[in-house]
C-alpha cells in the first residue's frame, strides 16, 4: 500500500512539474529571477520582456448535447454535454 501511495504522489509531482514549466522561464536567462521579489536580479519591466500592445482576446464557449450534437440553450438534468472552449489573441506575447 505504501508503494502505491509513493508511486501516486511521485506521479502527481512529476505531472505538476511538467505542466507548470515554461520555455522562456528563468533557466532560459541563465538562472536569473525576474520576479522583482527579494533576491531577484531584475524585474520584467525591461526591453524584450513584454510588448506594449495588449491585443484583443476573444473567447468562445460551445455547449452541445452529446446525443445529437444540437446546440444547448438551457440545462437539462441526466443529459451528457460536449463543451468546447476556444480562445484567440491578436497579439499573443
Cell matching residue 55: 491585443
pLDDT band at 61 (very low <50, low <70, confident <90, very high): very high
Compute the chain's Rg from CA coordinates: 22
21 DSSP 8-state letter: -
Express each pLDDT in 64-80 by its tens digit. Answer: 999 999 999 899 889 99
Tens of pLDDT, residue by residue over 2-32, are 788 888 888 888 887 777 666 665 555 555 6
**Cβ atoms of residues 48 and 32 within 8 Å:** no
Calpha distance 68→78 (Å, rounded): 15
Give the pLDDT mean for 49-62. Answer: 76
Amino acid at each position: 500500500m505504501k508503494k502505491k501511495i509513493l508511486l501516486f504522489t511521485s506521479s502527481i509531482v512529476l505531472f505538476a512539474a511538467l505542466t507548470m514549466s515554461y520555455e522562456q522561464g528563468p533557466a532560459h536567462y541563465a538562472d536569473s529571477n525576474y520576479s522583482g521579489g527579494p533576491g531577484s536580479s531584475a524585474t520584467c519591466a525591461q526591453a524584450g520582456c513584454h510588448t506594449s500592445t495588449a491585443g484583443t482576446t476573444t473567447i468562445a464557449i460551445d455547449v452541445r448535447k452529446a446525443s445529437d450534437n444540437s446546440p444547448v440553450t438551457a440545462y437539462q438534468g441526466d443529459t451528457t454535454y460536449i463543451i468546447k472552449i476556444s480562445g484567440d489573441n491578436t497579439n499573443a506575447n
